[in-house]
């Protein structure tokens, strides 16, 4: 099963709607029928997570659910584990693809990413990452020098 690969830039309209590129949507289509839905009712849910670095991460249900299984093991009464759970769910949201292949991002999510007009969507295999274009540009140029050292350490 291939992941999301590639980078595209699209506009976010006044209603906060962001188009998911067609090539990414095709990947969804191939694995919707987990629960034997009728062709009509296949609603494509997408999880949205506010990442620490100021981007938004988009997950398919099957991928997010895998992460969530880890969360379910955590105790409500261990302070550290409870805090982690809170930190995660407070940053998480859920949305659906409309018939034009867009998702509606909440004002809060857009603010977190600093998105007003345009957004870059980067395929990162299991997830998609959404950036405000200038912010991404700055991150890349600010850290251009770190690529080689990091790469040589880890790959």
Partner DNA sequence: GAGAATGTGGGAAAAAGTGGGGGATTTATG
Partner DNA sequence: CATAAATCCCCCACTTTTTCCCACATTCTC
Note the residues at the interface with DNA (CB under 7 A).
Answer: 8, 10-11, 13-16, 19, 21-22, 25-26, 98-102, 104, 106
Q: How far apart are CA 23 and CA 10, in angstroms?
A: 14
Tell me how far apart the alpha carbons of residues 110 and 78 are, in angstroms, rounded to a whole number. 32
User: 80-106 burial, b for 16+ CB within 10 Å, e for fewer?
Assistant: eeeeebeeeeebeeebebeeebbbebe
Q: Which of 12, 18, 19, 47 binds its own copies (CB under 8 A)?
A: 47
| Binds its own copies (CB under 8 A): choice among 11, 86, 111, 116 | 86
| Interacting residue ranges for its own copies, rule: CB under 8 A | 2, 5-7, 23, 45, 47, 51-53, 67-68, 70-72, 74, 76-77, 80-90, 92-94, 108, 122-125, 129, 136, 139-140, 143-144, 146-148, 150-151, 154-155
């Amino acid at each position: 099963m291939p992941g999301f690969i590639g980078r595209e830039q699209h506009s976010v309209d006044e209603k906060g709607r962001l188009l998911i590129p067609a090539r990414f949507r095709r990947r969804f289509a191939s694995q919707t029928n987990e629960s034997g839905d009728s062709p009509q009712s296949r609603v494509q849910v997408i999880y949205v997570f506010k990442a620490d670095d100021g981007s938004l991460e988009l997950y398919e249900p099957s991928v997010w659910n895998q992460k969530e299984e880890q969360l379910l093991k955590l105790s409500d009464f261990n302070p550290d584990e409870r805090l982690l759970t809170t930190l995660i769910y407070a940053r998480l949201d859920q949305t659906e693809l409309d018939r034009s292949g867009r998702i509606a991002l909440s004002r809060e999510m857009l603010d977190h990413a600093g998105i007003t007009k345009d957004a870059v969507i980067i395929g990162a295999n299991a997830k998609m990452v959404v950036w405000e274009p200038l912010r991404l540009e700055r991150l890349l140029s600010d850290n251009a020098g770190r690529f080689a050292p990091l790469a040589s350490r880890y790959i």
